[in-house]
Amino acid sequence: MSQLPDPPGPRRCVLIVLDSLNRHLLGAYGSDEFATPNLDRFAARSIRFDRHYVGSLPCIPARHDLLVGTLDFLWRPWGSIELWEQPITRHLARAKVPTMLVTDHPHLFETGGENYHTDFMAWDYQRGHESDPWKTRADPSWIGAPTHGRFDFPYERSRGYFGDETDFPGPKTMAAAAAWLDQSGAHHDEFLLVVDEFDPHEPFDTPEPYASMYDDDWEGPHLIWPPYARKAVENGVLNEREAHQVRACYGAKLTMIDHWFGRVLDALDRNGLWDDTVVIVTTDHGHYLGERDMFGKPAAPLFETMAHIPLFVHWPGREAGAVDALTTSVDLFATIADLFDVAPTHRTHGRSLVPVLTGVADSVRDWALAGMWGHETVVLDGTQKYVRAPAGDNAPLSLFSNRWSTMPIPGHPDVGLPPPDGRAYLDTMPDSTIPVIRQPYAAGDLLPYWAGRRFGGNHLYDLAEDPGEERNLAGTRAEKELVDLLHHALDEVDAPADQYVRLGL
């Protein structure tokens, strides 16, 4: 008797990325500080990953991980999809799989992020969030938005055009995603829908009842712009009362976007999509809200608040539960490629999570790398985290790119990396024959703010015994083993030679 072939796997996928979503503040991970009923509702039908970590930081490098599948923080700080690589959307276009992007993320439409959306079959940009250059003139009928040290910022010009909750970019994005599922999603036998939602990223600006939900006795304008600072209260950047208000405003934004995320869940319910649709919810990185007296995303070692991020995956036919497999952001690219049976044509660094999601395997990797260009480099083995700081002057350091750009700063058009100079030369990337400009940097050169800082040495934490990262084991015998693992991991990704020298390896 011949064995029947296995039934085909799911061929629909929804990937939802909420920016700056703190794992430790979600109900599904044990918090009750802020209300997240719809994320909890989704988690109740999903597989919760308990050891999911960032790869490349910050915002656009993290999108590069997700859509391109390669860790770019060892090669460049921030930039577009390069000539030698192709995003998952390009591969799916060849396979005739419809792809849709719904987003309010302004960095995708700025220099350095402007071609991440172009290979989607269609995309919908909801305007007005943070640095989005949407309006040239503020609404003359409005009295002004609260600020926290910013002036003539795009959001201040856009804010007056938000009449009520439904006009805010986050709610508009989730409503648009739900509408696409209603109008188009259910009619495609296969599709990839990416919802890149900028909330709960700052500004932590919400209408009532959210604005006062977690700090109802605050008087005056809400503090919607968190400072980016270490030792923030200790150094007087803000006081304890203001620190509570900033955290409460983040909670308000989190609860508001959670409410609108529920509209997407309702659309999945309404259209009967759960039985054949993989739904993934994650983030790019965390956000400090007073932990270790830090706020925002300051130049600091990647502690758990920033690096340990949430991941929930609904896999049709698999019961909800939790797994402790070590995973990282590039693994989601590999998972989506596996789901649609497409093979990348450039070097990638991810491992498909399908074996874990289907119960075939308990893990897919033994280590993960994370970091920011010119910053500390992190290696994890599932229980230990090793943060290796640059030695000396944080040099040598090279930037590899054929699309020269870095993180734009609205209102400061001349602030950024200078163009390549006479030190630049042509090189190649791993497994590529396309020439790439390699620009070396030396001590004293202009670098992104996170690379031009003083470093506080190496950090090693046993997360199983010390989840709060209070006992730094760097300098003990345990460090030698992690140094070897870091060296091995850098070898595996063919890291540039100057990274080994910069890190004192």
C-alpha separations of 247 from 147, 216, 425 in Å? 15, 13, 46
Neighbours of 287 (CB within 10 A): 23
Question: Which residue reads 């950024």 in tokens?
Answer: 416
pLDDT (average), residues 200-204: 96
Output the pLDDT for position 144: 47
pLDDT number for residue 20: 98
Spell out the SS3 assignment of 231-275.
CCCCCCCCCHHHHHHHHHHHHHHHHHHHHHHHHHHHHHHHCCCCC
Task: With cut-offs at 50, 70 and 90, classify the pLDDT of residue 6.
Answer: low
Distance, CA of 230 to CA of 294 (rounded, Å): 4
Query: Alpha-carbon distance 357 to 376, whole Å?
Result: 32
- DSSP type of residue 293: G
Helices (H) and strands (E) in the chain, counts: 11, 17
pTM exceeds 0.85: yes
Q: Which of 8-22, 27-41, 161-175, 406-420 has the lowest mean pLDDT?
A: 406-420
- Please give the angle made by the CA atoms of 344, 348 and 350, to the nearest 5 degrees: 105
Q: Taking 60 as the threshold, does the pLDDT of residue 5 lie above it? A: no
Distance CA 497, CA 402 (A): 19
Task: Say how many C-beta atoms besides its own lie within 10 A of residue 171's C-beta.
Answer: 25
Which residues are paired to 308 by β-bridges? 53
The rounded distance, in Å, linking the Cα atoms of 313 and 157 is 38
- Report the percentage of the chain scoring pLDDT > 70: 94
* pLDDT given at position 237: 96
CA distances for 213 relative to 20, 253, 254, 287, 416, angstroms: 20, 10, 11, 20, 39
Cα–Cα distance measured from residue 298 to residue 235, given in angstroms and rounded to the nearest whole number: 14
In the numeric block, the tokens 């929930």 are attached to 312
CA-CA distance, 300 to 455, in Å (whole number)? 8
Does the pLDDT at position 88 exceed 90?
Answer: yes
Whether residue 461 contacts residue 471, with contact meaning beta carbons closer than 8 Å, is answered with yes
CA 175 centroid distance within chain = 22
Q: What spatial distance separates the first Cα and last Cα of the chain, rounded to whole Å?
A: 59
Q: Residue 57 pLDDT > 80, yes or no?
A: yes
Report the DSSP pairing between strands 425-427 and 436-441: antiparallel
pLDDT at 139: 80
Q: How many CB atoms lie within 10 A of CB 314?
A: 23
Dihedral over alpha carbons 380, 383, 385, 386 (to 10 degrees): -80
Q: Where in the chain is the domain with CATH 3.40.720.10?
A: 12-368
Distance between CA atoms of residues 178 and 221, nearest Å:
33
* Rounded average pLDDT over 285-298: 97
d(CA 76, CA 441): 12
Of residues 452 and 133, more confidently modeled: 133
Q: What is the pLDDT of residue 3?
A: 54
Cβ-based neighbours of 209, under 8 Å, separated by 6 or more: none
> According to the model, what pLDDT value does residue 153 have?
83
Tokens linked to 356 = 């874990």
Q: What is the DSSP string of 169-218?
A: HHHHHHHHHHHHHHHTGGG-SSEEEEEEE-TTSSP----TTTTTTT-TT-
The sign of the torsion formed by the CA atoms of 37, 296, 397, 394 equals negative
Bridge partner list, 312: 48, 281
pLDDT confidence of 148, banded at 50, 70, 90? very low
As a whole number, the mean pLDDT across the chain is 93
pLDDT in tens, 471-487: 999 999 999 999 999 99
Give tens-digit pLDDT for 216-272.
999 998 999 999 999 999 999 999 999 999 999 999 999 999 999 999 999 999 999
C-alpha Rg value of the chain to the nearest Å:
22
% of the chain at pLDDT higher than 90: 83
Query: Residue 447 has what DSSP assignment?
Result: -
Tell me which H or E stretch contains 306: helix 304-307
Q: Which DSSP symbol is given to 444?
A: T
Superfamily of domain 12-368 in CATH is Alkaline Phosphatase, subunit A (3.40.720.10)
**Selection from 47, 76, 26 nearest residue 437 by Cα:** 76
